Amino acid sequence: MNPLAVVTGASSGIGRAFAIELATRGYDLILVARSEAKLGELAEGIHAESGVNVTVHAADLTKKKSLNTLLRYLKDKPISLLINNAGVATIGAFCERKPARLEEEILLNINAVVQLTRAALPGMVLRNEGQVINIASSAAFQPTAYFSNYAASKAHILSLTLALNDEVGDSGVFLQAVCPGPVETGFEDYAADGQLSAPRALFIKPETVVKQSLSDLSKRKEVSIPALHHRLVLRAGRLLPTSVSRLAMRFSGKQLFD
C-alpha cells in the first residue's frame, strides 16, 4: 500500500508542485482547495503519469462547515504526510485592509492549519510515524510593517511547528516549517490586489521550494528556507538589532504603500 499524503492549496503554486513531486515518490494523494475543476484536472494528469491514487476534496477552509466536513472525511485515514500549504496574504497599510480579508488570513493561515494538524497528529503519534509540513514564510521571523497580519499568522505557524516537535518528537513524528521568500505563483497578485511587484531576482520556482523542503525533511531539518539568497537575506536580517530591522521594514513598506 502506498503512503498517503494530504495537500491543501493543491490547485496552484507550491501545493500543486508538492502534489506532482509526491506522486513521483509513490504517495497516494488527497488534494484540497476550492477549485474543484482545477484539482480534478491535476488529479487526472498525476494518476495518468504515475499511477498513484488521487482523491479530490473541494473545500473552502475558511468556512467552518466546509473545514469540518474535511476533518470528518480525514478521520481515521492513515495520513503519512500532511502538507498545510493553503494560505493567503494581505499586503498594505493595516488600516486600509478590509476586515474580511484580515479574517480570511487568520482563518486560513492559522485556524485551518491548527485544526488539520490536530486531526492528523494523534493517529500519527499512535502509529509512531508521520510528518507534517507547514508552509510558513520568511515573514515569520520578524514583525513586518505593511505585511503585519500575514507575518504574524506565519509567526504563529513557525512557533506552533517547533513547539509540536517538542511535544511529539519522541514518537517519531516530525514537523517542518517551510519559510520561503518570494515564490513565482499567483499569490502576490491576490495579496496586494495587483499593486505590488517585488524584484524578480528574488523569486524562486515552486519546485525549488518543494525539493528543498523534502530534502530537508529527510535530514529532519525543522525549518526549511529554500534558496541560498533567501537564507542570506534572513541571516543578514538576524545580524541587525530588531529595532533596526523593524525600522527598515517600516520605511521600505511606507515607500511601497503610502
Ligand X SMILES: NC(=O)c1ccc[n+]([C@@H]2O[C@H](COP(=O)([O-])OP(=O)(O)OC[C@H]3O[C@@H](n4cnc5c(N)ncnc54)[C@H](OP(=O)(O)O)[C@@H]3O)[C@@H](O)[C@H]2O)c1
> How many Å apart are CA 226 and CA 177, to the nearest integer?
11
Nearest distance in Å: CB 97, ligand X:
16
Among 2, 12, 55, 111, which residue interacts with ligand X (rule: CB under 6 A)? 12
In terms of CB distance, is 13 or 130 closer to ligand X? 13
Provide, rounded to whole angstroms, the least separation between the CB of residue 158 and ligand X: 11
* 42-81 residues near ligand X, rule: CB under 6 A: 59-62
Per annotation, catalytic residue among 27, 73, 150, 190: 150
**Nearest Cα to Cα of residue 74 among 19, 121, 125:** 121
Q: Is 245 helix (H, G, I), strand (E, B) or coil?
A: helix
Q: Is 35 in the site for ligand X (CB under 6 A)?
A: yes
Among 13, 92, 226, 253, binds ligand X (CB under 6 A): 13
Is 136 in a helix, a strand, or coil? coil
Residue from 185, 171, 196 nearest 87 by CA: 185
Give the H/E segment covering residue 176. Answer: strand 174-178
Under DSSP, is residue 123 helix (H, G, I), strand (E, B) or coil? Answer: helix
Task: Using the structure block, give the residue that is written with the C-alpha cell 495520513.
Answer: 79
Residue 226 in the binding site for ligand X (CB under 6 A): no
- 182-189's contacts with Cβ under 8 Å and 24+ in sequence apart are 183/13, 183/14, 183/209, 185/12, 185/13, 185/14, 186/12, 186/13, 187/13, 187/87, 187/88, 187/89, 188/91
With CB under 6 A as the contact rule, the residue among 7, 46, 145, 183 that binds ligand X is 183
Q: State the nearest-atom distance from the C-beta of 60 to ligand X, in Å.
A: 5
Min separation Cβ 165 and ligand X, Å: 19
Catalytic site residue 146?
no
* In the complex, minimum distance from the CB of residue 19 to ligand X, in angstroms, rounded to a whole number: 10
Residue from 48, 96, 100, 186 touching ligand X (CB under 6 A): that is: 186
**CA neighbor of 221 nearest in space, from 137, 168, 165, 180:** 165
By the 8 A CB rule, do 55 and 43 touch?
yes
Contact between 194 and ligand X by CB under 6 A: the answer reads no
Applying CB under 6 A, does 86 fall inside the site for ligand X? yes
Q: Which stretch binds ligand X (CB under 6 A): 18-26, 167-175, 185-193, 221-229?
A: 185-193
Q: By CB under 6 A, name the binding residues for ligand X.
A: 9-15, 33-35, 38, 59-62, 85-89, 108, 135, 137, 180, 182-183, 185-188
Catalytic positions, written as ranges: 150
